[in-house]
Structure 1
Amino acid sequence: MVNTDYFLPCGVVIKKEDDKLVIENPGSIRTGKKQMLRGGISDPRNKTLMKMFNMIGIGERAGSGIPDIYQVWENEGWPMPVVEESYNPDRTRLSLEFAKKQTIKTSEEEKEPKRSQKGAEKEPIKGAERKKEILKLIKVNSTITQVEIMKELDLTRKQVQKDMKELQEMHIIAREGTNRRGRWIIVKENK
């Protein structure tokens, strides 16, 4: 609603099917598709509407909406959302499928767990080095999620949770805002 260009033809359209939700609105993505998917920067077309949503506690101006949606879809094991833009007239479409991804394991995959390309290129990161790498990622993107850190560093969820908890207990990082819509703050540099 806050990113809709109400001066273009064809208003907001929401289509609900049994296993899919499609949301379309007039207007292009002002921050660009790549930045929108990354999050952290917000440029709503309708700032007054955004302020109204903020006042009633159902929105914030952090550019975290789409990354949050991607996070929920990943956590649920649903196919990744699809964002499409079309032009003349400008229109943005978000397709959200609810069906679980189907995974078919080959006999080799069942024998040995799959390692990512990144993991095959280098040794696993250990202890203090993991924390330093996590801090580097937080410096670049304060709204980074644990899942994104897991993927970037080729770690398990348990490793990331443990390291981030320790970083918070050591007062090196702190969380501002909620778990879903907050951001990380580096309180002091880890030597």
Structure 2
Amino acid sequence: MTHAARAVTDVLQPRNVLLVGMTGLGLAAESSVAGAGWGLVAALCAGVVPASYIEWERRRGTWGDRHVVDRRQRPRIFAVILASLGLGSAVMLLADAPADLLTAMVALWAMTVLLLAVNALWKISVDAAVASAVVTLLAVVHSPWWLLAHVLTAAVCWSRVALGYHSAAQTVAGAALGAATGALLL
């Protein structure tokens, strides 16, 4: 069971979910290759830059792995995410990116602020929040049928609990916060 949980948490980590989801969101927002390109830019800012920072700190020996289990070490990660989302949003705004994608970036920024605030007191699941947010954003922008993909959010929640990174409550809270993020597009 641990092997399956590890596979789920690695495949559905935030960087990967954001790469696929934001690219799809850009494509849905503009129905073109340019839209998918804007989605890739959004994914770079929302997922790839933060994951690269985590990997850099891991290689330096600051953290043992990408999960950063000590919540006291997480504010630096949140600062990098907020800066990357903010800078990416500004560039996308100036370059006239699709409005739905810009709104999604702002929603992810707001979600990160809330994750940071909660993290000060309790270790909420960022992985669950991102998985839920991306599914909800796709449902709002593209089709309500995307809500069925919350089965993947449930898999992320299960894997995080099975691996001992979070309690069930921490994953449910993360998933709920992520779903509320998507509501910002309504």
TM exceeding 0.5: no
Q: Which has the higher strand share?
A: 1
Asked which structure has the greater CA Rg, the reply is 1
With CA pairs under 8 Å and 6+ residues apart, which has the higher RCO, 1 or 2? Answer: 2
The alignment's TM-score, normalised by the length of structure 1, stands at 0.25
The alignment's TM-score, normalised by the length of structure 2, stands at 0.26
